[in-house]
A and B are shown apart, each in its own frame.
Chain A
Amino acid sequence: MPEPIMLELRDAARHFDVSRPLLQRVIAREDKRILRAVDGVSFQVPKGTTLSLVGESGCGKSTVARLVVGLYQPTRGEVFFDGMPLAEARADASKRQRMQMIFQDPYASLNPRWRVSDIIAEPIRAFGLIRDRRKQLERVGELLTQVGLSPLDGQKFPHEFSGGQRQRISIARALSSNPEFLVCDEPTSALDVSVQAQILNLMLELQKRLGLTYLFISHNLAVVRQVSDRVGVMYLGKLVELAPSETLFHTPRQPYTRALMEAIPDLEMTGRTRIPVGGEVPSPITPPPGCPFHPRCPLANERCRIEVPAMIPARGTPETLVACHAVEEGRDGFLDGKPRLTPEPA
């Protein structure tokens, strides 16, 4: 039996009006400028699993995260949490408590005037989870230890901590109300690899033990490979590929996904030069017609310039959903046995 669905987005979109002030616009005879940060994204996250979102900076990942926790209203489409429209779920404290977010910017998300112990205890108090003051502090101490800090650190203020220590404080805060669903936007970007491994191991262990569900956002593809069940690749506000994690790393299909894999940094220092994704990054204010990737795509043809590709099962790897005409038409070279981009698992 398939797992019940924790989160579902149906054609969710979020646009921003970034026009210049009306007067200037009239003088310059300019139209309104609408920025399509997220433009029609659909996916499901089954309970107890991790879906990761990857993609170019500015492609809309954090905007999806903010839609999911209700910080932005969708311009179009719907978001469901545990089978319920998000607005209804957010209005219900017992549901709200089950959902937390770790923000991309560990600096902006901690109240500078609060002691760390109060920051971490805030969700516990807000939802009335533990009433006894001493028990609250015990729980805070336990959380601080779990993220590699000391219970004594609770007495300090955020500015007394390094970037990575602050990031760990926001992780401890997000975990404090025992959420079942966590949105993690670059949760370990400020951590050294050893502390990062400790935090990721903690997250994976909580998932195994308590069945947590994660929506995970990261630029670090090695980290994404370690934590994900499925991975979605975004490009210019749209999902262009969605696949089981191992399938995606093994056989990326969409040309942008393939380019992304080629650009992974070279730790082996073999002298391989990274191939950055070629061409200009298009503007989300005036996205290209047809497939949004066509101005940079080596496989683009006439159809790509006109028709927006839909997300459909890929030929050859049907567990992959991919939005690409070349894959659909079988002219992406996959069926002729194109070499894999990362080595076979050992």
Chain B
Amino acid sequence: MSLLQVQNLRVEFPTRRGTLVALDDVSFEIAPGEVLGVVGESGAGKSMTGAAIIGLLEPPGRIAGGQVRLEGRRIDNLPYEELRRIRGRQIGAIFQDPLTTLNPLYTVGDQLAETMTTHLPIGPAEAKKRAVEWLELVGIPAAAQRVDSYPHEFSGGMRQRVVIALALCAEPKLVVADEPTTALDVSIQAQVIALLKNLAREKGTAMMLVTHDMGVIAETADRVAVMYAGRIIEIGAVREVVKNAAHPYSAGLMGSIPPISHRVERLQAIEGAMPRLSAIPPGCPYNPRCPFVFDRCRVERPELMPAKANRAACWLYAPEEAHRLQESGLA
């Protein structure tokens, strides 16, 4: 059975000028020991999905529909206190913004130790010892000397590693990691990825990994979901999505990865910008930017359907549009 099930999740932001739909009918599952990568346009709703799962949507944002289940049990409608306990013990969260997680008034060692004594059956001395071990595991040099440092005394990447250690140290069943490696150099990144992977493999931890770094996705994720304008528009095995994307947006995204092997005159990018939440067009949300758009795309909304080896929300893959798929060259 899946460890995490997200079904038809809808998140809304009521505003003075009407209700914004930030997440629209988002569904996916993660099995124990599995890493689901989540990629997509900046502002597409990746962090929002993570926040909704762990019950930390910022008001006035609210879950307006759908369900979130952890080991079969609904957690989206639990009272605040109960959810908080589950969050601490069973879900580890790594936020995109390391400073909001770290308390500037406490040393990093105290924060780690406190998290462990709250959620694990260990005393303060053992917790302090493990705090140093965790700092070593995430590659902080001279961990024993720096365990008593305050967050502002660490570099951006070192703070990010402390946040990772904080999320993992209580041995959660599910880890929601939002951009955990952006501030890390390639070498430390490799080390952190190996750590996350080992956790998934050995302890059966399920992981939702949000990142813009396709290298990290390629090395860590088992499956990948691609988001655009509050929806999942493609989902499938990592290799198939990265190397053989079906949806025109995913294909454009993968085509925009800057090459490492040589310098180019102009970097490839998808033309235009994602629509604002208040101006998402009817039909397929990608239709104003899509090179393959046709009439149906502007009227009817595509659901996820089988597309190549994946599932994609694109009319080109409807059986009756097979001739268009042929012409598009995407097949």
Expressed in whole angstroms, the Cα–Cα distance for A223 and B41 within the complex equals 18
Whether B145 is near chain A, meaning CB under 8 Å from some CB there, is yes
Expressed in whole angstroms, the Cα–Cα distance for A223 and B242 within the complex equals 19
Q: Say which residue of B99, B153, B161, B219 sits within 8 Å of A18 (CB atoms).
A: B153
| Stretch of B266-274, B297-305, B312-320 at the chain-chain interface | B266-274
A276 contacts B145, C-beta separation under 8 Å: no
| Stretch of B4-12, B76-84, B200-208, B256-264 at the chain-chain interface | B256-264
- Residue among A190, A222, A265 with the most chain B CB within 10 A? A265
B268 contacts A197, C-beta separation under 8 Å: yes
B273 contacts A149, C-beta separation under 8 Å: yes
Whether A252 is near chain B, meaning CB under 8 Å from some CB there, is no
Whether A280 is near chain B, meaning CB under 8 Å from some CB there, is yes
Q: Say which residue of A62, A161, A167, A226 sits within 8 Å of B264 (CB atoms).
A: A226
B253 contacts A193, C-beta separation under 8 Å: yes
Whether A20 is near chain B, meaning CB under 8 Å from some CB there, is yes
Expressed in whole angstroms, the Cα–Cα distance for A191 and B40 within the complex equals 9
| Stretch of B108-116, B118-126, B179-187 at the chain-chain interface | B179-187
Q: Say which residue of A62, A108, A190, A285 sits within 8 Å of B155 (CB atoms).
A: A62
B186 contacts A193, C-beta separation under 8 Å: no
On chain B, the residues within 8 Å of A274 by CB distance are 186, 190, 219
B258 contacts A104, C-beta separation under 8 Å: no
Q: Say which residue of A150, A163, A225, A263 sits within 8 Å of B276 (CB atoms).
A: A150
Within 8 A of A (CB), among B33-67: 39-44, 46-48, 58
| Stretch of B23-31, B209-217, B322-330 at the chain-chain interface | B209-217
Q: Say which residue of B40, B47, B242, B267 sits within 8 Å of A200 (CB atoms).
A: B267
B258 contacts A223, C-beta separation under 8 Å: yes
Whether B252 is near chain A, meaning CB under 8 Å from some CB there, is yes
Closest CB in chain A relative to B191 CB, distance in Å: 6
B276 contacts A245, C-beta separation under 8 Å: no
Contact with B along A236-271 (1 / 0, CB 8 A): 000000000110010000000001100111110100
Q: Say which residue of A16, A161, A283, A342 sits within 8 Å of B260 (CB atoms).
A: A342
A193 contacts B256, C-beta separation under 8 Å: yes
Q: Say which residue of A220, A267, A283, A345 sits within 8 Å of B218 (CB atoms).
A: A267
A192 contacts B156, C-beta separation under 8 Å: no
Q: Say which residue of B156, B190, B266 sits within 8 Å of A276 (CB atoms).
A: B190
Contact with A along B235-271 (1 / 0, CB 8 A): 0001100110000000011001111111110111110
Q: A18-B149, A189-B182, A197-B258 are in contact. Are A345 and B97 (CB under 8 A)?
A: no
A266 contacts B261, C-beta separation under 8 Å: no
Main secondary structure of the interface of A (DSSP, over half): loop
- Classify chain B's interface size: 35 or more
Whether A343 is near chain B, meaning CB under 8 Å from some CB there, is yes
Within 8 A of A (CB), among B77-99: 96-97, 99
On chain B, the residues within 8 Å of A186 by CB distance are 156, 182-183
Jot down 17 A-B pairs with beta carbons below 8 A, ordered by A. A57-B155, A57-B158, A162-B42, A162-B47, A191-B212, A195-B42, A196-B258, A197-B269, A219-B157, A222-B257, A225-B263, A226-B258, A263-B190, A264-B215, A264-B260, A276-B188, A346-B262
Expressed in whole angstroms, the Cα–Cα distance for A153 and B274 within the complex equals 13
B266 contacts A201, C-beta separation under 8 Å: yes
Question: Please, which residue of chain A has its CB at the minimum distance from the CB of B155?
Answer: A58
Whether A83 is near chain B, meaning CB under 8 Å from some CB there, is no
CB within 8 Å of B: which residues of A?
Answer: 16, 18, 20, 33, 54-58, 62, 104-105, 107-108, 148-150, 152-153, 159, 161-165, 167-168, 186, 189-198, 200-201, 204, 219-223, 225-226, 245-246, 249, 259-260, 263-267, 269, 274, 276-277, 280-286, 342-343, 345-346
Question: Please, which residue of chain B has its CB at the minimum distance from the CB of A275?
Answer: B190
On chain B, the residues within 8 Å of A343 by CB distance are 261
Expressed in whole angstroms, the Cα–Cα distance for A107 and B266 within the complex equals 29
On chain A, the residues within 8 Å of B239 by CB distance are 269
Q: Shortest 4 CB-CB distances between A and B: which pairs?
A: A265-B215, A57-B157, A164-B42, A283-B142
On chain A, the residues within 8 Å of B269 by CB distance are 194-195, 197-198, 201
Expressed in whole angstroms, the Cα–Cα distance for A54 and B146 within the complex equals 24
Expressed in whole angstroms, the Cα–Cα distance for A264 and B218 within the complex equals 12
Further 7 A-B residue pairs, CB within 8 A, beyond A56-B188, A152-B276, A201-B269: A57-B155, A57-B188, A108-B99, A186-B156, A194-B41, A225-B260, A276-B191
Within 8 A of A (CB), among B262-296: 262-264, 266-270, 273-274, 276
Closest CB in chain B relative to A295 CB, distance in Å: 11
B219 contacts A263, C-beta separation under 8 Å: no
Q: Say which residue of A55, A148, A194, A342 sits within 8 Å of B256 (CB atoms).
A: A194
- Residue among A161, A165, A195 with the most chain B CB within 10 A? A195
Question: Please, which residue of chain A has its CB at the minimum distance from the CB of B257?
Answer: A193
Q: Say which residue of A194, A196, A245 sits within 8 Å of B252 (CB atoms).
A: A194
On chain A, the residues within 8 Å of B253 by CB distance are 192-194
On chain A, the residues within 8 Å of B189 by CB distance are 219, 263, 265
Expressed in whole angstroms, the Cα–Cα distance for A346 and B212 within the complex equals 26
Expressed in whole angstroms, the Cα–Cα distance for A55 and B139 within the complex equals 15
- Residue among A58, A167, A198, A259 with the most chain B CB within 10 A? A58
Q: Say which residue of A54, A245, A259 sits within 8 Å of B263 (CB atoms).
A: A245
